[in-house]
Each structure stands twice: as C-alpha cells, then as structure tokens.
C-alpha cells in the first residue's frame, strides 16, 4: 500500500509540474497571434545646439538650461580635436559648444598627431557659458 501511494503521489507531482511548465511556456501559435502596435506621432522635438550630430531630441531647452553648463571654445585652429576629461568629444571644425554637467572638467585640444596643443581645467556652472580663447 505504501509503495502504491508513493508511486501515485510521484506520478501526480510529475503531472502537475509538467502541466504548470507547459501552461507557462508560450506556444508557437500564441506567439504569432500576439502583435504589438506602435503608433508614431510627430511630437515637439527641439534642435540640440550642444550636440548637433544628434540632431533633434524630445527635451525642451529649459531642461538643458536647468541641468547643464556650456563651454564655448573660440579658436582659429581648424584641424584640432577636442577631448573632455580624457575622452574624445568632437573636431573643433564641427562644433565649438559643449554642454557639460556642473563641476571641474579638463579640456584639451590635440592636433592630428595626437599631441596636446592646449590644456586647461575649467569650472562649469549650471546655466552659464564658460568661454575659452585659444590662439
């Protein structure tokens, strides 16, 4: 009797576990039926003056002014690369304005050989423009 009860309980437990696993797994036909519809509507997009290669973004200009400061580089150099905190930012011919979080940042200009032409640590404050004049 014990052996029969044990075999029945094991069979019942196996059947319940298998049934639960099969009910949780989606079937191929159910995957074909489930469809998601994404509706794209035009929204208020704003041009990003700080990162022009990104184009338009869905945040108003007030968001940028409330959370970022700006560094503007005035220079006659045409082929210099701008590095901010050791990372490449852009070519100076592409953009001369950079939106940065408030705090101290190290700005470097490097020539095409990778040699540092100009290096300075600047303090960026929220809503203000820090201007660098490089000759």
Query: How many other C-beta atoms can be found within 10 angstroms of the C-beta atom of residue 54?
Result: 9
Per-residue pLDDT of the chain (135 residues; tens, 9 = 90+): 677 877 778 887 887 777 766 676 655 555 555 555 555 544 455 555 555 555 555 555 566 667 788 899 999 888 899 999 988 988 888 888 888 888 999 999 999 888 999 999 999 998 888 999 987
Asked whether the whole model's pTM tops 0.75, one would answer no
Domain 46-134 = CATH 2.60.40.10: no
Six token digits for residue 124: 């960026």
Angle value at C-alpha 75, between 111 and 63, nearest 5 degrees: 105
pLDDT digits (tens, 9 = 90+) for 39-68: 554 445 555 555 555 555 555 556 666 778
Please give the sequence-ordered ranges of beta strands (E in DSSP) within 53-128, or none if there are none.
56-57, 69-75, 81-84, 87-91, 97-100, 103-110, 116-124
- Domain extents in the chain: 2-33, 46-134
């Amino acid at each position: 009797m014990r052996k029969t009860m044990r075999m029945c309980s094991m069979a019942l437990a196996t059947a319940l576990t298998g049934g639960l696993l099969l009910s949780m797994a989606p079937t191929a036909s159910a995957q074909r039926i489930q469809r998601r519809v994404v509706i794209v509507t035009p929204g208020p997009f704003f041009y990003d003056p700080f990162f022009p290669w990104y184009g338009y973004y869905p945040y108003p200009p007030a968001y940028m002014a409330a959370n970022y400061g700006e560094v503007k580089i005035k220079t006659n150099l045409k082929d210099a690369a701008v590095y901010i905190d050791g990372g490449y930012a852009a070519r100076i011919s592409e953009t001369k304005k950079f939106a940065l979080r408030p705090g101290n940042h190290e700005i470097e200009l490097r020539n095409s050989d990778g040699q540092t032409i100009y290096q300075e640590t600047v303090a960026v404050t929220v809503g203000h423009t820090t201007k660098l004049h490089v000759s």
